[in-house]
Amino acid sequence: MNEMTRQPATLQAVADAAGVHRSTASRALNPDKAHLIGPDVVERVQAAARRIGYQRDELAAGLRTKRSRLIGIVVPDLANLVFAPIVSAIETVLAANGYSALIANAGGGVARQIQIIDQLIAHRVEGVILATAQRDDPVVTRCAEAGVPAVLVNRAEEKARVSTVISNDICGMRLAVEHLVALGHRRIGHIGGPSHLSTGALRLEGFGKAMAEAGLDADAVVTAEAYTRDAGRAAAIELLDRHDLTAVATANDLLALGLYQELRARGLRCPDDISVVGHNDMPMIDMVDPPLTTVHIHQADMGRQAAELLLARIGKPETDTVTRVIDSELVVRGSTAPPRG
């Protein structure tokens, strides 16, 4: 019950307390090497370690072993609800495997992102998970240069240079359109996400394909500047000014909320006047008014798989890069109904 509060106990202190050399103590404390040491000594060292409250210094150990047990996670914005479940799931998997998560907001532009990734590299992260990927992402390039394994989640690059876990964006948007068509809608518009993001591009593609299959025109399309309510509303204004629609499929729930606001401002009612379908099924979106019909993506599952992919890669660097596409599902709530008349 010593007062070990001032100077954290070092391995040398344990060794002294147990009357052995510090290398012996090191081995005794390492499950993988403990068999090299006599059982009685192992016991003695472990007892000493417990007694003086020894805690291994990951920093020092990492210097020698080149293993920081740190994984970097980069998200566009932690406060964005879409990413919370993904990050949470990633962290859980990492923790279960003895890794800690170094999480960074990458709000700003690409320059800032590079800066962030360099910061992570400086901490010798063993790998990174990026939720920020653009269709051609300089950050991925930077990771490759630095030899840091990277995995993409939620957003993909145009050509898959690294392992990636995304939802089936094309298929998801198809579900949305098919649902609207089945309800009897013909004049269907689309509020798309930024085109430099895979989600924006692929969901737009899915929209086009599904509309064509239904024999409908897909010309009522406006692209939002960002995945925000405000950008959604701005896009909605443009879309509604230019087209006479009975339904809109949006690339993202926040965009749908922006559309909600504009509908309300125009005195239009959802779903009576216009049906709306979102995308992502972010937390709480089931509580909005009206409850949003949306495409549910398995965020926790994506996060988990991304983490597992990265850990596998770290364990076996020559592993092939794979792209996992997670199917999404339509969740019908109150924002869609047959068109009037």
Contacts of 206 (CB under 8 A, 6+ apart): 169, 170, 171, 172, 173, 174, 177
Residues in the chain: 341
**# binding residues, its own copies (CB under 8 A):** 58
Cis omega before residue 76 (within 30°)?
Answer: no
With CB under 8 A as the contact rule, the residue among 46, 97, 105, 323 that binds its own copies is: 105
Exposure string of 137-169, with b = 16+ CB inside 10 Å and e = fewer, is bebbebbeeeebbbbbbbbbbeeebbbbbbbbb
With CB under 8 A as the contact rule, the residue among 34, 41, 78, 114 that binds its own copies is: 78
Regarding 37 and contact with DNA (CB under 7 A), the answer is yes
Taking Cα atoms as reference points, which of 190, 194, 259, 253 lies closest to residue 222?
A: 190
Regarding 60 and contact with DNA (CB under 7 A), the answer is yes
The answer to whether the beta carbons of residues 75 and 83 sit under 8 Å apart is: yes
Indicate which of DNA, its own copies, none lies near residue 234 (CB less than 5 to 8 Å, by partner kind): none
Rounded to whole angstroms, what are the CA distances from 239 to 132, 256, 328? 27, 13, 26
Contacts of 56 (CB under 8 A, 6+ apart): 11, 29
With CB under 7 A as the contact rule, the residue among 65, 115, 119, 319 that binds DNA is: 65
Regarding 33 and contact with DNA (CB under 7 A), the answer is yes
Residues in contact with its own copies, shown as a per-residue x/- string from 114 to 153 under the rule CB under 8 A: --x-xxxxxxx-------------------xxxx------
Minimum CB–partner distance for residue 126 and DNA (Å)? 14
Regarding 110 and contact with DNA (CB under 7 A), the answer is no
Going by their DSSP bridges, the two strands 329-331 and 293-296 should be labelled as antiparallel
Minimum CB–partner distance for residue 49 and DNA (Å)? 10
The answer to whether the beta carbons of residues 199 and 252 sit under 8 Å apart is: yes
Regarding 290 and contact with its own copies (CB under 8 A), the answer is yes
Regarding 239 and contact with DNA (CB under 7 A), the answer is no
DSSP reduced 3-state for 326:
strand
The answer to whether the beta carbons of residues 45 and 24 sit under 8 Å apart is: yes
Residue with token string 């030899």: 147
Minimum CB–partner distance for residue 263 and its own copies (Å)? 13
Regarding 26 and contact with DNA (CB under 7 A), the answer is yes
Regarding 46 and contact with DNA (CB under 7 A), the answer is no
The answer to whether the beta carbons of residues 157 and 138 sit under 8 Å apart is: no
Regarding 54 and contact with DNA (CB under 7 A), the answer is yes
Task: Give residue 1's identity as a one-letter amino acid code.
Answer: M
Residues in contact with its own copies, shown as a per-residue x/- string from 298 to 317 under the rule CB under 8 A: --x-----------------
* Residue closer to its own copies (CB basis): 118 or 217: 118
Residues in contact with its own copies, shown as a per-residue x/- string from 237 to 276 under the rule CB under 8 A: --------------------x--x----------------
Regarding 35 and contact with DNA (CB under 7 A), the answer is yes
* Residue closer to its own copies (CB basis): 73 or 211: 73
Residues in contact with its own copies, shown as a per-residue x/- string from 208 to 237 under the rule CB under 8 A: ------------------------------
- 130 DSSP β-pair partners: 74, 152
Regarding 68 and contact with DNA (CB under 7 A), the answer is no
Give the interface with DNA as residue ranges (CB under 7 A): 8, 10-12, 20-24, 26-27, 29-30, 33, 35-41, 54, 56-57, 60-61, 63-65
